[in-house]
């Protein structure tokens, strides 16, 4: 167990229960507070200005609120004792592909399987929504190993992609394509 995980388990008791489900509208403020904190502290690849643009234009609380309850997008959250400690934001692309937009876990709650559980929940969501493939872009080269350990395939790097930052592309095919994606 990693030091941060031990500290978290001590704080929340080793027998704590972590649940994962879709974000509810009434939880948007708590989710967004954690999202902002993680974006500001855990993405050094992006300049402060880029993070500011993302928070004020691309990933506002209102934009996330519009995702809640939509059929083809989801925000999954991990909770313990009523507190949101992790999240995964995904949008369904056409043709049976789901794109993981953000995955974040609160500092102190990392390295104990929460990210893996969120990914598993995404796979289940994808299959119930007739999606066969998950796609992930990550700016952090360290994250590539995380996804590889969980069955994702490394596709390649998009050099100087969004905001001039390298993006590492991975994907995981979780089942055969559903016939329904070919219907017009």
Q: pLDDT tens digits, residue range 25-47?
A: 999 999 999 999 998 888 777 77
Query: Would you say the C-alpha torsion 42, 44, 46, 50 has a positive or negative sign?
Result: positive
Please tell me the distance from the alpha carbon of residue 5 to that of residue 54, in angstroms, as a whole number: 29
Non-local CB neighbours of 5 within 8 Å, separated by 6+ positions = 109, 110, 111, 112
User: Are 78 and 87 in contact, with CB atoms under 8 Å apart?
Assistant: yes
Please tell me the distance from the alpha carbon of residue 178 to that of residue 110, in angstroms, as a whole number: 34
The pLDDT of residue 2 is 37
**Domains delineated in the chain:** 3-182 (3.40.630.30)
Tens-binned pLDDT, residue by residue, of the chain (184 aa): 334 455 555 555 455 689 999 999 999 999 999 999 998 888 777 778 888 888 888 898 988 999 898 888 899 999 999 899 999 999 877 899 999 999 999 998 989 999 999 999 999 999 999 999 999 999 888 899 999 999 999 999 999 988 888 999 999 999 999 988 877 6
The pLDDT of residue 84 is 96
The pLDDT of residue 3 is 43
């Amino acid at each position: 167990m990693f030091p941060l995980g031990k500290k978290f388990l001590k704080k929340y008791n080793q027998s704590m229960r972590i649940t994962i489900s879709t974000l509810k509208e009434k939880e948007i403020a708590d989710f967004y507070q954690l999202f902002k904190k993680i974006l500001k502290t855990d993405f050094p690849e992006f300049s402060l200005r880029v993070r500011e643009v993302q928070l004020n234009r691309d990933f506002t609380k209102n934009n996330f609120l519009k995702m809640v309850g939509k059929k083809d997008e989801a925000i999954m959250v991990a909770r313990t004792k009523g507190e949101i400690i992790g999240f995964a934001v995904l949008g369904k692309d056409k043709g049976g592909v789901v794109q993981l937009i953000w995955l974040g876990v609160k500092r102190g709650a990392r390295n104990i399987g929460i990210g893996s559980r969120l990914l598993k929940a995404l796979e289940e969501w994808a299959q119930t929504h007739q999606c066969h493939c998950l796609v992930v872009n990550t700016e952090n080269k360290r994250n590539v190993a995380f996804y590889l350990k969980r069955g994702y395939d490394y596709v390649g790097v998009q050099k100087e992609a969004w905001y001039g930052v390298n993006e590492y592309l991975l994907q995981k095919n979780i089942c055969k394509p559903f016939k329904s994606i070919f219907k017009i």
